[in-house]
Structure 1
Amino acid sequence: MRKDKGIVIKNIYYMLSYAFKILNQSVYEEVAAEEFEDMYNLFSAILSKGIGLQLKQGLYREYKNCQDELPVMRGKINMPGTIRNRLGHERVLSCEFDELSENNTLNQIIKTTVMLLLRNRDVKSNYKDDLKKKMLFFSGVDTLEPSAIQWTSIRFQRNNQTYRVLTGICRLILEGMLITTEKGKYKLASFIDEQRMCRLYEKFILAYYSQHFPSLSVNASQIAWAVDDDIRTMLPQMRSDIHLQKGNTVLIIDAKYYARTTQEQYNKHTLHSNNLYQIFTYVKNRHYAFGDEPNEVSGMLLYAKTEEEIQPNNVYRMHGNKVSVKTLDLNLPFTDLSAQLDAIVREHFGDTLVRR
């Protein structure tokens, strides 16, 4: 099986399945069972299934303001336009009205992403044929300039909630895989960029522990600064990637996905200093929050394993707390990857912890 930037392609699907729980629905069973050689075909298969599911429910439509010249009144009359028509001896009314339209941002994002996949020569013909059939239902939908999409302005509500996962997958493709050629044309890279992959990696670990270890409190919690006078004005937020807790035992995990897990200077490998400072700060402030209560707060930097010769695997005792640095091998079959994550939990919370 070909690997994508050191990661078995199949594991990308599993990571997406945890991050976007809807992918566990039966409609995606064929995708889960298939072997993929690259990212293009994996995303094409996921989008094809997701769009098909959305078409069965109906494409989301929203009201758009329209203006047209009509023989009968609709909505409200645009007087300047109507007068202009009369002066030109045209017996039509210039009308302004609202009309439900499928040509909205959510559908435009889907079509834009699919059109990029269709232009990619590495996407297999069977996926292209399937996507082309589905695009027939998007004939009235425009495409967008990918770099101009305002992702933060997108709002989901009851009528378009089913688009949340499809939009998330499209964003991962458009933001994480899109590159511009010298001629200003767009094409897709064969891998997701480091920043987007880091977010997926973090989401996956959080969702994995939340699903399989119900006896733990699992979240991405905010950690309060342990200040003596209760004044926290202008202090930056401390939000952990993964916060695991059972009673007064806490493990704070910072998930890191880098091309290089260590930094090198004068032929000496060391940990990324900012990462170590950050996890130590999280651990000590969380520890102080317990006050006089007995507690065990630990921290972990969990790097995605790279192909570098030197990989960190260290445990430190820092001012009474354990801080460890480990790597997670995403290049293994998922059963082995899962075993690595389970071992981390049992190491900190005991072997009796029940996995669901």
Structure 2
Amino acid sequence: MGRQAEGRGRMIDRSIAISNVYVMLAYACRAIRSEGRDRIEAERFDHLHDLLAEILVRGVGTQVKRGLHRDYLDRRDELATVRGRINTSRTVATRSTTRGRLVCEFDEYEADTPHNRALKSVIVLLIRHGDVDAQRKAALRRLLPYLDAVTLVAPTSIRWDALTYHRSNATYRLLLGVCELVVRGLLPTEDSGSTQLASWVSDEQMSRLYERFLREYYVFHHPELSPAAPGVPWDYDDTTAHGVEQLPAMRTDVTLRSGQRSLIIDAKYYAQTMQVSPWGKSTVHSANIYQVLAYAKNADIRRDGSVSGLLLYARTDAPVQPDLDVVIQGNRIGARTLDLNQPWEIIRAQLEDVVTWLEDSPH
């Protein structure tokens, strides 16, 4: 159906949903002020890979103009003149002196860093296996000569958690967030055994992105609410407690605070936002509501109802969606959805409406 596909009674503009992945990435990677954001948001994309390729084309192109990230890297080589430190044991073992040479260890200020290796590897991956139009593939190829000095590594060997960021390479945060999303979408084909990219990333990866997006949105727009993802300690009686180390940890996705009031937001990215009984009744997922209630009750150590809990689901196209707002034993508990298939202005209004839970608290 072109840019739109019909889904259970409503029209889904796929290009809007895909473009909003960029907005989520920009927040999650703390790159809201990144150059070119407005231009990318204004475009329409039929495939996720086209969006990710466009971000890399523009972002890496800008980075090339600024200068690629460089770092001091450890090198060892057999040289005719001394450079850095002489490795005596290697020099003896390789009999380098018989050739008038010494094995030296030294630092080289190079662009062959883990950050640039990840960029190059994912650019090549998108060119070879991505669902990217010919024009964008050509633009990606034009970036490769600038990365000639960078080693091409297997994408699956990249250690994303080992990549660090500081002032001189902060612009890489969004680019490598995109790269990680691409690599996490790798799937083996069943017939040829070759590698292709998923047309969409897994629910697990989207769930992680959704959580980070929500948290960083409030960090950016509402620092006065001290957005964070703290753990909630169990409020048990020390005098009678036994085996407390067996209690599972309670980790929140987002907690907002205003004065004495707190709102615990639990982000949920599910294919089905409601559970359906054998008799056809739709209800909020039992485990989810028990979880957020446990968070609120244990966090409310003053027992004054000042802690609320909200399940915030990514909206699906199911006919019944979570829409719950109740007070349970003094604590306000709710479930609602965030419609990521809307233009950004509407999504932001929904996120701002969540903040009113702190203002509208009965306590």
Whichever residue aligns with residue 286 of structure 2, its letter is S
User: 1:345 is matched with which residue?
Assistant: 355
Whether the aligned pair in 2 keeps the contact of 1:102 and 1:141 (CA below 8 Å) is yes
Percent identical pairs in the alignment equals 34
Whether the aligned pair in 2 keeps the contact of 1:6 and 1:307 (CA below 8 Å) is no
Task: Give SS of 1:239's match.
Answer: coil
Whichever residue aligns with residue 220 of structure 1, its letter is A
Whether the aligned pair in 2 keeps the contact of 1:328 and 1:340 (CA below 8 Å) is yes
User: 1:210 is matched with which residue?
Assistant: 219
| Residues 1:54 and 2:63 aligned together | yes
C-alpha displacement at 1:59, in angstroms?
A: 2.7
Structure 1 unmatched ranges of 5 or more: 352-356
| Residues 1:322 and 2:332 aligned together | yes
C-alpha displacement at 1:144, in angstroms?
A: 2.4
Which of 274, 284, 290 is the aligned partner of 1:277?
A: 290
| Residues 1:258 and 2:267 aligned together | no
Whichever residue aligns with residue 309 of structure 2, its letter is G
Q: CA–CA distance in 1 between the matches of 2:229 and 2:197?
A: 31
Task: Give SS of 1:223's match.
Answer: coil
Q: CA–CA distance in 2 between the matches of 1:329 and 1:284?
A: 28
Whether the aligned pair in 1 keeps the contact of 2:308 and 2:331 (CA below 8 Å) is yes
C-alpha displacement at 1:331, in angstroms?
A: 1.2
Q: CA–CA distance in 1 between the matches of 2:123 and 2:344?
A: 28
Task: Give SS of 1:26's match.
Answer: coil
Task: Give SS of 2:227's match.
Answer: strand
Select between 76-85 and 332-341 the one with higher mean Cα deviation: 76-85
C-alpha displacement at 1:241, in angstroms?
A: 0.8
Which whole-Å deviations, capped at 9, do the CAs of 1:244-297 have from their partners, x for residues lacking one? 22122222110100111123342443432221221011000111x235xx4422
Task: Give SS of 1:245's match.
Answer: strand
| Residues 1:37 and 2:46 aligned together | yes
| Residues 1:305 and 2:315 aligned together | yes
User: 1:65 is matched with which residue?
Assistant: 75
User: 2:8 is matched with which residue?
Assistant: none
Q: CA–CA distance in 1 between the matches of 2:188 and 2:219?
A: 38
Which whole-Å deviations, capped at 9, do the CAs of 1:306-327 have from their partners, x for residues lacking one? 1222222122332221211112
C-alpha displacement at 1:148, in angstroms?
A: 2.9
User: 1:184 is matched with which residue?
Assistant: 193
C-alpha displacement at 1:136, in angstroms?
A: 0.8
Structure 2 unmatched ranges of 5 or more: 5-11
C-alpha displacement at 1:85, in angstroms?
A: 7.3
Task: Give SS of 1:326's match.
Answer: strand
> Do the aligned partners of residues 116 and 4 (structure 1) sit closer, same or farther apart at CA in structure 2, a change above 3 Å counting?
farther
Matched ranges for 1:134-149 at <5 A = 134-149=143-158
Count how many residue pairs are aligned between Structure 1 and Structure 2: 342
What TM-score comes out, normalization by structure 2 length?
Answer: 0.83
Whichever residue aligns with residue 237 of structure 2, its letter is D
> Do the aligned partners of residues 252 and 123 (structure 1) sit closer, same or farther apart at CA in structure 2, a change above 3 Å counting?
same
User: 2:162 is matched with which residue?
Assistant: 153
> Do the aligned partners of residues 116 and 317 (structure 1) sit closer, same or farther apart at CA in structure 2, a change above 3 Å counting?
same
Q: CA–CA distance in 1 between the matches of 2:159 and 2:193?
A: 20
C-alpha displacement at 1:341, in angstroms?
A: 2.0
User: 1:354 is matched with which residue?
Assistant: none
User: 1:219 is matched with which residue?
Assistant: 228
C-alpha displacement at 1:347, in angstroms?
A: 4.5
Which whole-Å deviations, capped at 9, do the CAs of 1:22-78 have from their partners, x for residues lacking one? 24233444223322222111111111222223321333233133233x444444264
Task: Give SS of 1:200's match.
Answer: helix
Task: Give SS of 1:240's match.
Answer: coil
User: 1:239 is matched with which residue?
Assistant: 251
